[in-house]
Structure 1
Amino acid sequence: MWLFRKILKFYIEASIHVAISVACLTALTFEKFQIPLDIDLCIVAFLATISSYNFMKYATNAQSYFRVHGVYLKFIQGVSILCTIIMIVLMFFLSLRVLMVLALSSVFTAIYALPLLPGNKSFRSLHGLKIYMVGFCWALITVIIPVVDDHESLSLDVWIEFVQRFLVVVVLIIPFDIRDLKDDSLSLGTLPQQIGVNNAKRVGYAAMLLFLGFTFFKTDVLVKEVVVMSVVTLLTVLALYFAKEKQPEFYCGFWVESIPIIWFVAYLLLPAF
């Protein structure tokens, strides 16, 4: 049990679990819009998430990231560097259009983590910006890139899916912000800091109602789509409802971040009707 917990902790803290979630949402877009699956792109999304998330988590400044101390952090750094190298190799197999969108996402990641603002501050420190930047990047990578990869037009359905991904990611971040309420700097301006835990939850509930409601504005409203989106809405609302400052160790890092994976699996397994 001790070894299992250690492995699970590394799996979460090295951003492997969240990377699987991003890869699943990327594959979900291929499935939803009936685009041939590009496995290279899904792998790039997986590797890019590990690299960028570990950079954001462990690089309060560039120097600290490249001069980490301790075997554990060095191992995470090694995994991140390996993922970055493999990602760069695979990027040679992607189209220029995909690379341009990836570059845009990379720019957002860099300005989010690096101290580019006066006073040695990063955009991460700007009041209330974090949650929206993360939501935007997730939606960009998991919705726009797969569509662009197949040279499909950015139709109304694509933009609705983009907004839905943005909303669900923003709501899934709230349990993390509730957990970190005592540790986060007040300059971050997270929703629980600005309006309190209960009001932040209410905003999340409203956002998930919008998430579900947007489903009915799509061109073809399939019963399968409504069922799956209803399940995702229910799971996300429950995850938000039970979120508190003192959480079980893996509540957010594993269970909350498993919802995108469940979303993808449910969409694959549920027959079309």
Structure 2
Amino acid sequence: MISFKQIFDFYIRSSIHVALSVYALVRMTHYMFHISADQPMANFAFFGTIVGYNFVKYDVLARAQKQQMRNELKIIAALSFCSLVAVGYYFFKLQLVTQIVSVGVLGLTLLYTLPFFPNRKNARNWAGVKIYIVALCWVGVTLVLPLLNAHVPLGFDFYLKCIQRFILVFVLILIFEILDLANDDPHLKTVPQQIGVKRTKIVGLLMLIPFYFLELLKNNFIQEQMIVNGILVVALSLFLAFANEKRSKYYTSFWVESIPIFWWLMVVFF
């Protein structure tokens, strides 16, 4: 009999949870820029995240073929294939400019995974680069693509939100890097590897200050958003402060990745 833990682990390992986080950020973008529900764009981001993340996580295993695929991996592969079909379907429902830019984001993802240059590893293994590539991909998918698809003018608020979104994702990744410190290759030169855990936490906490106060510079400032963002900053600060190498894998893979979902739900309900 399949246990709840097995179902929950599959939910995490198949990238459905992280895809929901991306979906939530796309919907946050719709809310912030007063875009009527663009479901094809949100669905494209959701299914694209499942395909992208599973490709990044399981590509090496699939290509090496050093062991027979377990049943769970077979199901994940089937889910990824179905998600790829859904991505293709929703891709042709997007505006042309959105399609072009999404191909660019795909290229960045492939650069992160596959070794394109002779005698060089993929970008995932380039020293100190990983965190910036991931953050830029998230900004592109959750902010740039939805605005392009809705033909929203890319004015001052857009650049403001790009900075905020980049900071948000950057801080989330810092928490992952702290927990992965014992297992990461020293040559990756992650932020905790270079400056230590304590200083990494300080950097993350300091970055949340501009994230919060940049909201005041918006052309259409909403006071209630400051309250929601304040709760988000407190939650992020606590997760960052209590992060360490001994934490359970669920600390990041579920709880930390739930923060964007929590942020969106605060807007939906309050």
Inter-partner Cα distance in structure 2 for 1:235 and 1:65? 41
State the partner residue of 2:51: 51
Given that residues 59 and 65 in structure 1 are in contact (C-alpha distance below 8 angstroms), is that contact kept between their aligned partners in structure 2?
Answer: no
Match of 1:93, SS state, is: coil
Given that residues 55 and 65 in structure 1 are in contact (C-alpha distance below 8 angstroms), is that contact kept between their aligned partners in structure 2?
Answer: no
For 2:116, give the aligned amino acid.
L
For 1:195, give the aligned amino acid.
I
State the partner residue of 1:18: 18
State the partner residue of 1:143: 143
Q: Deviations over 1:40-76 (max 9, x none)?
A: 1111100000110111112238723899622222221
Q: CA deviation at 1:119?
A: 2.2
Inter-partner Cα distance in structure 1 for 2:194 and 2:109? 24
Inter-partner Cα distance in structure 2 for 1:164 and 1:68? 43
State the partner residue of 1:42: 42
Match of 1:154, SS state, is: coil
Structure 1: tracts of 5 or more residues without a match: none
Q: Deviations over 1:95-143 (max 9, x none)?
A: 1111112111101000000011332510111111111111111111111
State the partner residue of 2:179: 179
State the partner residue of 1:193: 193
Over 3 Å counting, the alpha-carbon distance change for 1:230 and 1:236 in structure 2 is: same
* 94-103 vs 13-22, greater mean Cα deviation: 94-103
Over 3 Å counting, the alpha-carbon distance change for 1:60 and 1:189 in structure 2 is: farther
For 2:24, give the aligned amino acid.
C
* 55-64 vs 5-14, greater mean Cα deviation: 55-64
Over 3 Å counting, the alpha-carbon distance change for 1:66 and 1:142 in structure 2 is: farther
Structure 2: tracts of 5 or more residues without a match: none
Given that residues 61 and 115 in structure 1 are in contact (C-alpha distance below 8 angstroms), is that contact kept between their aligned partners in structure 2?
Answer: no
Q: Once superposed, what is the RMSD of the aligned Cα atoms? A: 1.9
State the partner residue of 1:223: 223
For 1:60, give the aligned amino acid.
V
**What fraction of aligned residue pairs are identical, expressed as a percent?**
36
* 51-60 vs 255-264, greater mean Cα deviation: 51-60
Inter-partner Cα distance in structure 2 for 1:67 and 1:103? 32
TM-score, with length taken from structure 1:
0.94
* 258-267 vs 220-229, greater mean Cα deviation: 220-229
Match of 1:59, SS state, is: helix
Inter-partner Cα distance in structure 2 for 1:124 and 1:222? 38
Match of 2:60, SS state, is: coil
* 221-230 vs 107-116, greater mean Cα deviation: 221-230
Say if 2:78 is the partner of 1:78: yes
State the partner residue of 1:237: 237
For 2:226, give the aligned amino acid.
V
Over 3 Å counting, the alpha-carbon distance change for 1:71 and 1:169 in structure 2 is: same
For 1:191, give the aligned amino acid.
V
State the partner residue of 1:253: 253
State the partner residue of 1:5: 5
For 1:237, give the aligned amino acid.
S
Over 3 Å counting, the alpha-carbon distance change for 1:66 and 1:35 in structure 2 is: farther
1:57-206 superposed matches below 5 A: 57-60=57-60, 63-64=63-64, 69-206=69-206
For 1:78, give the aligned amino acid.
A
For 2:260, give the aligned amino acid.
P
Match of 1:128, SS state, is: coil
For 1:178, give the aligned amino acid.
I
Q: Deviations over 1:166-205 (max 9, x none)?
A: 1110100112111111111112111111111111111100
Given that residues 60 and 114 in structure 1 are in contact (C-alpha distance below 8 angstroms), is that contact kept between their aligned partners in structure 2?
Answer: no
TM-score, with length taken from structure 2:
0.95
State the partner residue of 1:30: 30
